[in-house]
Amino acid sequence: MYLIKRFFAILVLIIVLLTALFAWNSFLIWLDSAEPVNPQTSKETRSKVQWLSSTKPLTYTFSNQRTHSLRILSNAVFDQSVTLEQPVNYAIKYTLYNDKKEVIVDKVYHHASKLVNNSQDQQIKQIIENKQSLNVASGQSFYLPIKHYPQAKSLALTLIPEEKTIQGVVVRVHAKTPDQNVDPLNSWLKRPVDRRKRATDYLTMGENTLTNTEITNAMAFWWQKIAPQGIPGIDFKSDILYESLPYNVLTYDFSQQQHSLAAYYTKHGLCASITLDNSDRLNFTVSNDQETPSLIWYDKLQFEAPKVINYTLTDKENTYQTQPLEPGLITICSEQELLTQWRTESGTAILTSYAGSYLINAQEHVEFDVVPLSHLNLELRALETSQLDISLYDENQIQIDRYSITIKGEISDFDRLIADNTQRQVVGMLTPYYLRTGKETKYVKITANNDVYVRLKSRLASFHYQRRIAHQPILTESTNGFYDIAAWYEQKARNHYDLSQRDLFVNIRTFAPPPDVEQTTTYYQSKELFNLLPLSNVALGLSPNRYYEEQQPAEEFNFGLYDKNQAIPSASSNDNRLISRLNSNSAKELKTDDISFADQQQLVNEASVIYQNWYGHRPWVKQRLYQLVKNKPVKLSYDKKKRPISIVFKVFRAQSNEPVTLNISHSAKYKLGLTSEYSIAKQSFQLHNSELLKSFLIHPKKSQITSYPSVTLNLANDIETLQYVTLSSSETIWLSILEEYPMQEQKVRWWNNEL
């Protein structure tokens, strides 16, 4: 009996343990399968939305006296076949009526929508319909300025589904109405942070860029939800759309067929371009089996002539790849309207540049606050001849100066304006003007009689300008903490908020045009520096011509590679010299009649390279170099009656190929008023050794030198009198200076040449 009791006790214990183990295992399975609560639920808001019908429009009524504008927000609802990043199009027909139900405006607004990415801060947007969650697109919106339609009393919205994948579209309408708060400075900070952020984001202003004026305007208006008429039970309590604030507009709105903002748009008379800094291949995609563009490569140094770029079709549909390309400028042109997407061979997207500009005309003007004694750069664009007035005012708003200019309207072949509807529009060619302001100037006012786009940039005369120059890609680690510093800095208008509210601040997409072919009508002459830099030497350097320059008759200082099969000139000829390089550290020059024929043959056998100055193509130039000691400035003085158009500094360095920093400044008397050119008084250039320009000293023991890109100091038409130019270097260098003049000097020097 005792054994039986023990057996039953053990059996019960085993059953209890198995039951507990099963329960614990079930709990773990349930725990593992449970979905975590969304951590951002507390930040979500719920908005009442209505389904748009394609047959029966939704109608909203509003007060046209209190309503400044309407914002129509919509979300497309997809079926399960749509994937992320796949755009789907739909349109909303909107009609404004007056109080007599007469049509004031009847138009269609298109949208491109994508599924919402639930990652990062974009968070969930979902529709709960019959207890089921539906796929929802990113929010789209467009605005109706009711102040432009003072008779409008109601709005009707109708859906135009453009693709079968859309199950429907939900909308809600917000009216911008005056807020009762009239003391924004006190009420603004009392409001919760989330509500302040929501207000600024709904007004499409950046949170960190609010001025007092913008805060005032933000608090003077509020977005009030309005309900459609004829739908019972609208109380904004039983909301069905969940969204995270701020309201994210993730894709693009457009009132016509969409043009991707990432695409390059070209047509007859409007090309685009890509600046290629490194050797690479380019991949591009065309839309919908369109024709392919014509591509031309331009050498940025203009040593090589432009070349047509060949490309082949890849495995991807409508995607092409170019041949290997050297650094330079690639132009993209087409006869018909064409959209292309561009990437490097590695897949990196090639971005474009924008220039923000203000549109002014007879009704609108622009004003800029300026720092006294600052210099201004006005970038003007117009499609027709326009008269502009630039007025300078002091702190008491008293006019100090006034300048009038006329700009000729001319269409740009590369730049274009991108409208809010993504359509590209032609824009005027850039016309720059410069102005030096006085110590009393506080702000500038610019007016025009026709449409003119204005962009203003400024700088102080004491501001430093510096940049890196190289003939090949620059390695970041080789810059030694030297960074490019721009010459000009863009300014925001003092009435920017008012202009942007009226859509008068626009972005102009800019592309670099091909370099101009300059017809040489001036002459360069070497500057003698024996009195300033007594230590000099002679070098032979490769100096290729621009591809468009006519071949000039070779002078005695022009050299080419020696060909032993060519006859040696007579002793009486000036062109009878040889320059030989025995090795990398030794070079010497001699006359052919100074050595015997046997010695010449021995020299040919022993030398690694020999140059001659009497036959064939002679791109090598013999030139005089002067030594400029490290951190020891040299001052070049100029006569008031004679000054050069530009000064070219050619730099060489011995025993090293590390970067050289060249500091250039000048002292001058400048012209008053507006000028079409501008001279920067203080500049620095970090020069990196050139792999294109090879040189060596004609020296028996120390011939090795490194060539660097030349630097040109343009002395523009804003200079009335040039007094002096000061030059210094961060390292001890060999230097040659060329001056550009309109007339050729009668005195001929054998080292007179241009690089």
How many C-alpha atoms does 160 have within 13 Å on its Cβ side?
12
How many C-alpha atoms does 643 have within 13 Å on its Cβ side?
24
**Which pLDDT score is estimated for 643?**
83
> With bands split at pLDDT 50, 70 and 90, how would you rate the model's confidence at 32?
low
For residue 439, which amino acid is it? K
Q: What is the pLDDT of residues 541-553, one digit of tens each?
A: 888 888 787 777 7
Which has more confidence, 637 or 251?
637
- pLDDT at 213 > cutoff 60: no
Tokens describing residue 349: 């997207």
* DSSP secondary structure, 224-267, as one string: EEE-BTT-TT--S-S--EEEESSPPB-S-EESSS---TTSEEEB
Sort strands 465-469 and 411-418 into parallel, antiparallel or unpaired: unpaired
Of 42-46, 312-316, 567-571, 725-729, least confident by mean pLDDT is 42-46
> With bands split at pLDDT 50, 70 and 90, how would you rate the model's confidence at 744?
low
**Which pLDDT score is estimated for 125?**
52
Residue ranges of alpha helices (H) inside 593-745 are: 597-606
Vertex 595, ends 589 and 600: CA angle to 5°?
Answer: 80
- Mean pLDDT in the chain? 78
Question: What average pLDDT does range 310-330 have in this prediction?
Answer: 87
Question: What average pLDDT does range 720-738 have in this prediction?
Answer: 90
CA-nearest of 575, 549, 573, 530 to 750 is 575
**Which pLDDT score is estimated for 17?**
80
H/E stretch holding 14 reads helix 2-33
| 248 and 122 Cβ atoms separated by less than 8 Å | yes
Question: What average pLDDT does range 111-133 have in this prediction?
Answer: 54
- pLDDT at 96 > cutoff 70: yes
Question: What average pLDDT does range 223-234 have in this prediction?
Answer: 66
- pLDDT at 156 > cutoff 90: yes
E strands, 253-337, in order: 253-254, 264-266, 272-276, 282-286, 294-298, 307-308, 311-313, 319-322, 328-333
> With bands split at pLDDT 50, 70 and 90, how would you rate the model's confidence at 662?
very high
- pLDDT at 145 > cutoff 70: yes
Q: Which of 216-225, 425-434, 611-620 has the highest mean pLDDT?
A: 425-434
For residue 124, give every residue at least 6 positions away whose Cβ sits within 8 Å of its Cβ, in sequence order, or none: 38, 44, 116, 118, 242, 243, 244
**Which pLDDT score is estimated for 220?**
60
Which has more confidence, 353 or 122?
353
| 174 and 215 Cβ atoms separated by less than 8 Å | no
Q: What is the pLDDT of residues 666-677, one digit of tens each?
A: 888 888 889 988
**Which pLDDT score is estimated for 3?**
66
> With bands split at pLDDT 50, 70 and 90, how would you rate the model's confidence at 626?
very high
Tokens describing residue 547: 């591809």
- pLDDT at 132 > cutoff 60: no
> With bands split at pLDDT 50, 70 and 90, how would you rate the model's confidence at 219?
low
**Which pLDDT score is estimated for 237?**
34
- pLDDT at 209 > cutoff 50: no
Q: Hunting for tokens 């919402």 — which residue is that?
A: 116
Instruction: Output the furthest CA–CA distance in the chain (Å, rounded).
Output: 142
**Which pLDDT score is estimated for 134?**
65
| 64 and 147 Cβ atoms separated by less than 8 Å | no
Question: What average pLDDT does range 437-461 have in this prediction?
Answer: 89
> With bands split at pLDDT 50, 70 and 90, how would you rate the model's confidence at 179?
low
Q: How many of the other CB atoms lie within 10 Å of CB of 350?
A: 17
- pLDDT at 229 > cutoff 70: yes
For residue 133, give every residue at least 6 positions away whose Cβ sits within 8 Å of its Cβ, in sequence order, or none: 126, 127
- pLDDT at 434 > cutoff 90: yes
**Which pLDDT score is estimated for 78?**
73
- pLDDT at 290 > cutoff 90: no
For residue 392, which amino acid is it? L
Tokens describing residue 561: 């590679």
What is the value of pTM for the model shown?
0.66
H/E stretch holding 497 reads helix 496-501
CA-nearest of 679, 755, 674, 686 to 719 is 679
> With bands split at pLDDT 50, 70 and 90, how would you rate the model's confidence at 228?
confident
CA 398 from centroid of its chain's CA atoms: 38
**Which pLDDT score is estimated for 726?**
92
| 198 φ, ψ (degrees, to nearest 5) | -65, -40
The percent of residues in the chain predicted with pLDDT above 70, rounded, is: 78
- pLDDT at 206 > cutoff 60: no
Q: What is the pLDDT of residues 36-90, one digit of tens each?
A: 444 444 444 556 678 888 888 889 888 888 788 888 888 887 765 555 556 677 8
**Which pLDDT score is estimated for 31?**
52
What is the SS3 assignment for 437? coil
Q: d(Cα 562, Cα 618) in Å, to the nearest integer? A: 10
**Which pLDDT score is estimated for 120?**
41
Question: What average pLDDT does range 132-151 have in this prediction?
Answer: 76
Q: What is the pLDDT of residues 466-501, one digit of tens each?
A: 888 888 877 766 677 788 888 888 888 888 878 887
**Which pLDDT score is estimated for 573?**
67
Which has more confidence, 607 or 34?
607
- pLDDT at 256 > cutoff 60: no
**Which pLDDT score is estimated for 119?**
47
- pLDDT at 225 > cutoff 70: yes
Which has more confidence, 679 or 354?
679
For residue 656, give every residue at least 6 positions away whose Cβ sits within 8 Å of its Cβ, in sequence order, or none: 706, 731
- pLDDT at 147 > cutoff 90: no
- pLDDT at 204 > cutoff 80: no
Question: What average pLDDT does range 282-291 have in this prediction?
Answer: 81
